[in-house]
Each structure stands twice: as C-alpha cells, then as structure tokens.
Amino acid sequence: MSLRFAILTLLESDPGSGYDLMRHFKAGIGHFWNASHQQVYQELGKLNSEGLVEFEVEHQSERPDRKVYRLTPPGQSALAEWRLQPVRPPKVNDALLVKVYGGLNVPPAQLLAELEEHAVLHRERLEEYRASEARFLAMTPEERVPYRLPYLTLRRGILYEQDWLRWLDEARVELEQMAAGS
C-alpha cells in the first residue's frame, strides 16, 4: 500500500523516469524498499491518472524516449498527509527460519551449507553499504547536510546485515554442536 508513497518520496527530491526510479530503488533505498519495474511503471500510471504526478516526454536521439515524472501539488499534499499517519513495522516472512525451525528433519550439512550461502549474501550487502557509508563519511559537514537522513536509513541497513551475520554465527555453532551429537 505504501509503494506509491515510496515513489512519491523519491520523486519529491528527484524528478525522473520509471527507469531512474528503479535504479534509485536498487542503489539508494533497496535495503528498506523493494519493487520490480513492472510494479513501478504500473503505479506511476495510476498516480498519473489520479493526478498525483505528471510527466514530460524527453526525446533523445538514439535512446528511447523518457517520461520524466514529477510531483503535482496534489501529490505533495497526499504525501504530506500520509506522513502524518502512523505506519506499522513490516511483517516478516522468512523461509530460511522455517527451515531451521524444522531442521531436525533436514540433513545438518545441508542446512549449514545454506546458512553459509546466506552469510555470503549478507557479507556482500554489508560491503556495499559500507562503501556507501565511506562516501558519506568522506564528505565535509556542509556537504553531508542533505544526506543526513538517507545516511540514517543506510545505518539501518548496516546494522541489519551485521545483526544477521551475528545470528548466522550463533546458528552455525549450535548446528555444528548438534551435528557432533552433543
């Protein structure tokens, strides 16, 4: 339900095309909001027909045309109103933990292997986030100003990945003990 507000939030500071949004979703806020391009294009269509965003077609030679979207005043106020409403923490549905929960019926070596795959993934993400963090920290205090809040959300991503790695470690130790028959 809040995909539209994620889109409006991004367009508010940075008008752009659906494609731009996608890159932004992947690079900038992927650690707390995920959407496919199909979803984004469809939602942009809806937002446009509801008058919350508008676009100008940008013709480009030797490149496909771009529709550059921006907020309309009604879009601005819809966003402002949404921000006044409380939101709930997202519901988590994590298949890996379902496997661990029923793990007595899984070969231990395989479960350990899958945990390690996840650890690799989390390490990779953490590296990416740390690289972004380093870019922020290299800025002067003045340069940082507009990025302070995005940086805060990045911090959430960093803590999240570190926390997962901590748990994966705990889990590995425990599963190894169990596999060793203790």
Partner DNA sequence: TTTCGCATGTAATGAGTTACATGATTTT
Partner DNA sequence: AAAATCATGTAACTCATTACATGCGAAA
- Is 96 exposed, middle or buried (CB count within 10 Å of its CB: 0-12, 13-18, 19+)? middle
Alpha-helix residue ranges (DSSP H) falling in 14-147? 18-27, 37-49, 73-84, 95-101, 108-137, 141-144
| Interface residue with DNA, options 8, 10, 11, 18 (CB under 7 A) | 18
In the complex, which residues of this chain contact its own copies (CB under 8 A)?
2-3, 5-6, 9, 12-13, 29, 31-34, 79-80, 83-84, 86-106, 110, 114, 117-118, 121-122, 146, 148-150, 152-153, 155-156, 159-160, 163-164, 166-167, 170-171, 174-175, 178
Decide: is 144 part of the binding site for DNA (CB under 7 A): no
Number of residues that bind DNA (CB under 7 A): 26
| Calpha distance 160→56 (Å, rounded) | 39
Amino acid in position 12: E
* In the complex, least distance from residue 16 CB atom to DNA, rounded to whole angstroms: 8
**Interacting residues of 179 by C-beta distance below 8 A, sequence separation 6+:** 108, 109, 112
| Interface residue with DNA, options 9, 12, 54, 66 (CB under 7 A) | 66
Taking CA 166 as the corner, what is the angle to CA 135 and CA 122, rounded to the nearest 5 degrees?
50
Decide: is 31 part of the binding site for DNA (CB under 7 A): no
> Which lies closer to DNA via its Cβ, residue 38 or residue 105?
38
Alpha-helix residue ranges (DSSP H) falling in 31-107? 37-49, 73-84, 95-101
Q: Report what 67 binds from DNA, its own copies, none; CB cut-off 5-8 Å by kind.
A: DNA
CB 161 within 8 A of CB 129: yes
Q: Report what 26 binds from its own copies, DNA, none; CB cut-off 5-8 Å by kind.
A: none
> Which lies closer to DNA via its Cβ, residue 38 or residue 182?
38
Decide: is 84 part of the binding site for DNA (CB under 7 A): no
Q: Which residues bind DNA (CB under 7 A)?
A: 1, 3, 17-20, 23, 34-39, 41-42, 44-45, 60, 62-67, 91, 93
